[in-house]
Structure 1
Amino acid sequence: MKKNTCNHKDHTLWSRRSFLQGLGLSGISSMLFANSTISFATNNQLTSAIENADSENILLIIKLFGGNDGLNMIVPVNQYDAYANNRPTIKIPKNNLLNLTDEYAIPDFMSSLDPMWKEGKMKVVHSVGYDNQSKSHFKGSDLWASAEIDSNIQETGWLGRYYDNIYTDYVLNPPESPVAIQIGSTRNITFDGEEHKYSYAVANISSLQNIAQTGKVYQSDNIPDCEYGDNVSFLRNTYNSSYNYAGKIHDAYNRSSDYTGGVGGYPASTPAYGKLGESLNIIARLIKGNLGTKIYMVTLSGFDTHATQFDTHQGLLTNISETISYFHEDLTDAGYGDKILTMAQSEFGRRVAENGSKGTDHGAAGPILFFGESLQGSGFVGEHADLNDLVAGNLKHHTDFRQVYSSILKNWMCVDASVVNATVLGSEYEDLNLGFACETETETEVPPVPPIPPNEGEGVPDSVVTFETYVSFEGDDTIITLQSNTTQHITVTLYDIKGQRLGVIENSILYAGVKKINVKQKNPSLAAGLYIFKAQSNYDAVSKKILIQ
């Protein structure tokens, strides 16, 4: 018999049911072990829409968290006197500038980007923002991630809403590969839908490295021999065997190798400037290994430069420039140069004037930088803000950030314009000329809403059939609630977490109104654990995770 390595009292405190309840697994798509949050995506709306779109293009989003100082990144030479007067100690001296044009320059410590500019692989969108811009890091990040500036609470992301409105039957039909991979800032809501997080998200690059090298999310050895350990082992093994894509990531990683060409290699990680080099190296390997993921997002912190900004910002921008340059060289050498677009953005810019601590405080508008062969020439897009025409010391924005999102979705990811306008952004925004366009201009036909059967559906608004499901608990019972505004036939089928069909637990007529199904009463032999149910009506199918206690 194995030695019991746990306190014997945990046998009275823990059961698998209470353990699952304590973790709150019902309706979530992430778990926390070893201080590392990992979320995983099953099939979703963006998956299907992007996979069905006529595009093999890949988008890399680099989030410069903390509020990047765009004025010391893209220096307005045509307004240099106003720039220098506002920044007596932190300005970039003229003799340390590399002119991109007669009007704008980059600091010489960003010289790694100069070849990309000269080769037509870089564009800058000036003065991007929105009305009444938030100067809070997290609120600002949520606003950019949600693209909803008129709401007090941001709960879904611009890509998450896209996922939510293509298909509802996503749990039981996962794609072969994750549609999005997110490194860092796992609280960011960009990929959050109404109920699910639609990205394979890791808190740090070390987690992704482990997955890529071993093919597992969590190790299942060295676990205490007791009931608590059994529960940990159960959850970890369940997670490793579910739709977490670890094996796919591992296979793609092993199908490729590190790039050894060029000069310098990926910049090494440092405590001060983060692990962008490691992150983009692994992303490049996954792309070269044909993983199939079309969106990657990496968060780089350190841009909240309230004090002694010059040296800190110089180190960050040097690291970014060298990493992006080498990343695109890597993928160009592998034949992916025209398929990858990189976008660097921040949640807000900095104030024009420096503060008393030789730094800058939270501001408003700032630039977004794009990199890639598909840009078809370097240049500047939009109007740069006037440094002498400020609002409370901040730059006015001239380009709405939702114009950027709209342009990317329609012209890079090749998503139908009607889906972008109605589903993702809730309005139509003027697209920017970023140099790329989808080859096909044929819009995807939106399927019509199924008609209501004759003599049914009285009182249904606008002849639209609604069918919704909810999960709740009544004591120890797990309840599925079905709600419909018309009479229709429904079936509810139960599956295990691997998607294996267990059987039908409801097959009946659902009248207009509400119907409750007690899952455990329908199948008393069910063990406590995580399952999936699929509710199929005349008009729709919905599948969700469910916890049996």
Structure 2
Amino acid sequence: MPTTRRDFLKTSVLASSLLFVPRFLHALDRQGLAALRDAGGRRLVVVQLGGGNDGLNTVIPYQNDLYYKARPTLGIRPQSGILTLNDELGFHPAMTRLKGMFDQGQLAVLNSVGYPNPDRSHFRSMDIWQSASAADQYVTTGWLGRYLDSSCATCPQPYNGLEVDDTLSLAMKGAARKGLALKNPAKFHQVTQNHFLAQVSKETGPAGGSEMDYLYKTLAETASSADYLYQTSKVYKSAITYPNTEFGKNLKTTAELINSGVDSRVFYVSLTGFDTHVRQQEQQGKLLGDLSEGLSSFAEDLQKSGEFQNTLVLVFSEFGRRVSQNASNGTDHGTANNVLLLGGGLRRPGVGNAAPDLLNLDQGDLRHQLDFRSIYATVLRDWLGADDQAILGSQFERLSELV
């Protein structure tokens, strides 16, 4: 017997399923399929380190006495296995595989990245990084969402930007186009196969632009996207060993989507747990090991399929930590931090700018040398071929010949 709209609204099973359906999806575009405006086949993968990673113990100024004076027990000594990058800086000992990528010319380090008038709130600073706003601006769209708005105006597919997570970050939300959040293509597809959801998504729905019409179209688009991602993702199954962690699994899913040929230009993955106020050494070391193992496995996966040359990975955290350790052998919220760029197409790998200046601090915090929006502008214009000024709302100096 056909399902009526009243049945649709009242059926608890369907209502439960709808909790998993992203509400932000837009109506099906009647203009037909359209790929993202030409980015030369290139894609961007953003890795967010949630909690405020301690940059000074990630890229260590191992020749600077001020570093060890500020961190008498937390500072990492050369004899602990620092992985030297140059005569001033070295990676944390847990980052062995990323050091290998650095040596192969596949990794760039940018120091003291931040923004004027920094905010030490996790939520506010993350919003600033994700929206690419100034500290005194409040913006409801993200820089990658606005990239989708700009470069995918006629795309009907929400999967042109994918976040491998349960929820969508502000970074992926545009005014007209938004990405799609999912943890696993098979599970996402299974949700849309609920009997009532599947049936309703195939119905035309009422005319006239009503809320019900919007809902019917949203369901149809969700079901279509889920089916596309599920069917396409079966093309490639990774044989590479990833860390047996949530982050490792999410990177593996990302690699399988890319290697299967999913038509997406931006991907977003997170690794959390970096708020190290207490007993930092063990916690950060474990996380940086997971980051290093995960990203190098990801790179190996894409290299095997020939996709690494067209992929750029951007690793950031919402802020760094204070220069001095605290009384709990940890670090408190700080300001400027390092950013890592990985890829097979880097034009200027290595250490990209000067080491952090520990002599010229701002009330115990690093002063930023490089505005993070300059990195975004470089990635948008030079890597993705997009209009960086229109997307960021202002002109920021790009980093010459980086990507």
Range into which the TM-score falls when normalised by the shorter chain: 0.7 to 0.9
1:258 lines up with 2:238 in the alignment:
yes
Q: Distance in 2 between matches of 1:339 and 1:166?
A: 18
- Judged with a 3 Å threshold, the aligned counterparts in structure 2 of structure 1 residues 232 and 56 are, in CA distance, closer, same or farther, namely closer
Could you give the per-residue CA deviations for residues 422-458 of structure 1, whole angstroms, max 9, x where no partner exists?
A: x21122111113532xxxxxxxxxxxxxxxxxxxxxx
What is the identity, as a one-letter code, of the residue corresponding to 2:159?
P
1:429 lines up with 2:396 in the alignment:
yes
1:82 lines up with 2:66 in the alignment:
yes
What is the identity, as a one-letter code, of the residue corresponding to 1:256?
Y
* Secondary structure class of the residue paired with 1:311: helix
- Judged with a 3 Å threshold, the aligned counterparts in structure 2 of structure 1 residues 235 and 291 are, in CA distance, closer, same or farther, namely closer
Q: Distance in 2 between matches of 1:243 and 1:93?
A: 52
Q: Is the 8 Å Cα contact of residues 363 and 395 (structure 1) preserved in structure 2?
A: yes
- Judged with a 3 Å threshold, the aligned counterparts in structure 2 of structure 1 residues 147 and 32 are, in CA distance, closer, same or farther, namely farther
Aligned identity (percent) is: 31
* Secondary structure class of the residue paired with 1:116: helix
Q: Is the 8 Å Cα contact of residues 115 and 372 (structure 2) preserved in structure 1?
A: yes
Please state which structure has a larger fraction of its residues in helix: 2
Larger Rg: 1
Q: 1:242 aligns with which of 215, 221, 246?
A: 221
What is the identity, as a one-letter code, of the residue corresponding to 1:198?
K
Name the structure, 1 or 2, with higher relative contact order (CA <8 Å, separation 6+). 2
Query: What does 1:286-435 align with in structure 2 at a 5 Å threshold?
Result: 286-376=257-347, 378-415=349-386, 419-421=387-389, 423-433=390-400, 435=402
Could you give the per-residue CA deviations for residues 308-340 of structure 1, whole angstroms, max 9, x where no partner exists?
A: 111000000001001111110111011112011
TM-score by length of 2: 0.85
| Cα displacement (A) at 1:33 | 4.5
Query: What does 1:259-278 align with in structure 2 at a 5 Å threshold?
Result: 259-260=239-240, 265-269=241-245, 275-278=246-249
| Cα displacement (A) at 1:251 | 1.8
Query: What does 1:38-49 align with in structure 2 at a 5 Å threshold?
Result: 38=22, 41=25
TM-score by length of 1: 0.63
Query: What does 1:438-517 align with in structure 2 at a 5 Å threshold?
Result: none
* Secondary structure class of the residue paired with 1:375: coil
* Secondary structure class of the residue paired with 1:315: helix
Tell me which residue corresponds to 1:193: 174
| Cα displacement (A) at 1:243 | 4.2
| Cα displacement (A) at 1:413 | 0.4
What is the identity, as a one-letter code, of the residue corresponding to 1:293?
S
1:220 lines up with 2:194 in the alignment:
yes
Tell me which residue corresponds to 1:56: 41
Could you give the per-residue CA deviations for residues 122-162 of structure 1, whole angstroms, max 9, x where no partner exists?
A: 10111110011111111111111111115442211122233
Tell me which residue corresponds to 2:159: 178
Query: What does 1:62-211 align with in structure 2 at a 5 Å threshold?
Result: 62-79=47-64, 81-95=65-79, 96-149=81-134, 151-165=136-150, 170=154, 174-175=156-157, 178-184=159-165, 186=167, 188-194=169-175, 196=176, 198-202=178-182, 205=183, 207-211=184-188
Q: Distance in 2 between matches of 1:397 and 1:49?
A: 40
What is the identity, as a one-letter code, of the residue corresponding to 1:266?
Y
* Secondary structure class of the residue paired with 2:95: helix
| Cα displacement (A) at 1:113 | 1.3
RMSD: 3.0
Please state which structure has a larger fraction of its residues in strand: 1
Could you give the per-residue CA deviations for residues 387-436 of structure 1, whole angstroms, max 9, x where no partner exists?
A: 12111211000100110000001111012xxx321x21122111113532
Q: Distance in 1 between matches of 2:100 and 2:373?
A: 29
What is the identity, as a one-letter code, of the residue corresponding to 1:267?
P
Q: Distance in 2 between matches of 1:296 and 1:166?
A: 15
Q: Distance in 2 between matches of 1:232 and 1:392?
A: 58
Gap regions ≥5 residues in structure 2: 204-215
Q: Distance in 2 between matches of 1:305 and 1:319?
A: 16
| Cα displacement (A) at 1:19 | 6.1
* Secondary structure class of the residue paired with 1:242: helix
Count of matched residue positions in the alignment of Structure 1 and Structure 2: 379
* Secondary structure class of the residue paired with 1:155: coil
Q: Is the 8 Å Cα contact of residues 37 and 186 (structure 1) preserved in structure 2?
A: no
What is the identity, as a one-letter code, of the residue corresponding to 2:242?
Y
* Secondary structure class of the residue paired with 2:308: coil
* Secondary structure class of the residue paired with 1:140: helix
What is the identity, as a one-letter code, of the residue corresponding to 1:85?
K
Q: Distance in 2 between matches of 1:154 and 1:37?
A: 25
Q: Distance in 1 between matches of 2:44 and 2:291?
A: 17
Q: Distance in 1 between matches of 2:278 and 2:20?
A: 31
What is the identity, as a one-letter code, of the residue corresponding to 2:221?
S
